[in-house]
Amino acid sequence: MARVVERGVIGVDLGGTKLLAGAVDADLGVHHRTNRLIYGLDQDGLVQMVADAVEEVRTAVGSGIEAVGFGIPCTFDSRTGMAVQAANAPLHDIAFHEVMSERLGLPVVVDNDANCAVLCEARIGAAAGCSEIVLLTLGTGIGGGLVLGGEVYRGWLGGGAEMGHMVVEMDGPPCQSQCPNYGCLETVVSGTALVRLVSVAVARRPDTPLGQALEEGRELTGPMVTELAREGDPVACEAMRVIGRRLGIGLVSLVNIFNPQVVVIGGGVSEAGELLLEPAREIVHQRALAPGRDVVRIVQAAYGSEAGMIGAALAAREKGGVARAGFPEPVA
């Protein structure tokens, strides 16, 4: 039986393929996680599934939940409060805050999913104590989060920090999401791009552990490639190096523009660790401008796939009218 969580909050991280939710107590302990896939859902079905997931967690941990935080992969318009466009999820032009407040009967805070992730890493994770932070989450697509001057940066209307849609190849392939652009960083560095790259490479080298795994019926996915890269599969390792170098190209521009103290790389692809990060660092060192290139740290996210969920819970506690009760203060 799950522990009753007093004065807790629920954090919900909605990505391009799945949802992760959990109750977070005052000591940042997470209780009753729930994972759900969002394949094949339209907007109404997705909203209902999200509400059901929250109710599942709420029922499991008792009546002590005081607020809910949502990180969703959307751009926002602060003039209307609308979640305008989701890159990889069936959400568009929806007053998500109002809908969830009405359904759940609790204080609700809604933000971009990568904004939630960077909030988590800035307060308690890999960028704790830093005031200038760039975060990229490499998953189905690429999410971007910025902390500038110690505050999460959202742009004028709430649609900023979409760094996954920075163009790195002018005549590159069309963006895989709802973005109307071509050659976005997302098209060449995301988990989806990694799978495309490996599917071509393994056809040329089927006599590898990766090729054998596919022959045995395993599905070619980003997590599977990452797993085999960590085990030394040559095709997976080379693909990760290519993705890492492409990532470095994007980071050169971000380092030159923002001069961050730290770049945090999260999302499923980041589980490859140094196989991904070292090639990215090499490119940044070769191509970015001094002094930024010489001092920036490029590191893996400390909270991995749970950063968005915990960040959403932090936002709910801080902005949802709930006392901090043990949560760290904002970055100075």
Domains and CATH numbers, the chain: 8-112+306-319 (3.30.420.40), 126-301 (3.30.420.40)
What is the β-pairing status of strands 18-24 and 8-14? antiparallel
Q: In sequence order, which residues have a C-beta less than 8 Å from that of residue 87 and are 6 or more positions away?
A: 16, 73, 141, 162, 164, 165, 177, 178, 179, 186
Nearest CA to 151 out of 105, 208, 210, 111 is that of 111
What pLDDT, on a 0 to 100 scale, did the predictor assign at position 262?
98
Evaluate whether 106 touches 68 at the Cβ level (below 8 Å): yes
Q: Does 325 have pLDDT greater than 70?
A: no
Give the whole-number percent of the chain exceeding pLDDT 90. 74
Confidence of residue 74 (pLDDT cuts 50, 70, 90): confident
Determine how many CB atoms are found less than 10 A away from the CB of residue 181.
Answer: 14
More confident residue, 17 or 332: 17
Q: Does 322 have pLDDT greater than 80?
A: no
Confidence of residue 106 (pLDDT cuts 50, 70, 90): very high
Entry pTM: 0.90
Evaluate whether 271 touches 304 at the Cβ level (below 8 Å): yes
Computed over every residue of the chain, the mean pLDDT equals: 90
What pLDDT, on a 0 to 100 scale, did the predictor assign at position 4?
64
What pLDDT, on a 0 to 100 scale, did the predictor assign at position 26?
86
Q: Does 321 have pLDDT greater than 50?
A: no
Q: What's the half-sphere exposure (Cβ side, CA atoms, 13 Å) at 92?
A: 9
Rounded Cα–Cα distance for residues 234 and 212 (Å): 13
Q: In sequence order, which residues have a C-beta less than 8 Å from that of residue 85 and are 6 or more positions away?
A: 74, 75, 91, 92, 93, 178
Q: Does 83 have pLDDT greater than 50?
A: yes
pLDDT in tens, 204-221: 999 999 999 999 999 999
What pLDDT, on a 0 to 100 scale, did the predictor assign at position 320?
57
Q: Does 323 have pLDDT greater than 50?
A: no
Confidence of residue 176 (pLDDT cuts 50, 70, 90): confident
Give the whole-number percent of the chain exceeding pLDDT 70. 94
- Give me the residues paired with residue 65 across strands: 8
Q: Computed over its alpha carbons, how large is the radius of gyration of the chain? A: 20
Cα dist from 74 to 11, 49, 90, 144, 178, whole Å: 16, 17, 10, 11, 11
What pLDDT, on a 0 to 100 scale, did the predictor assign at position 179?
86
Segment 281-302 mean pLDDT: 97
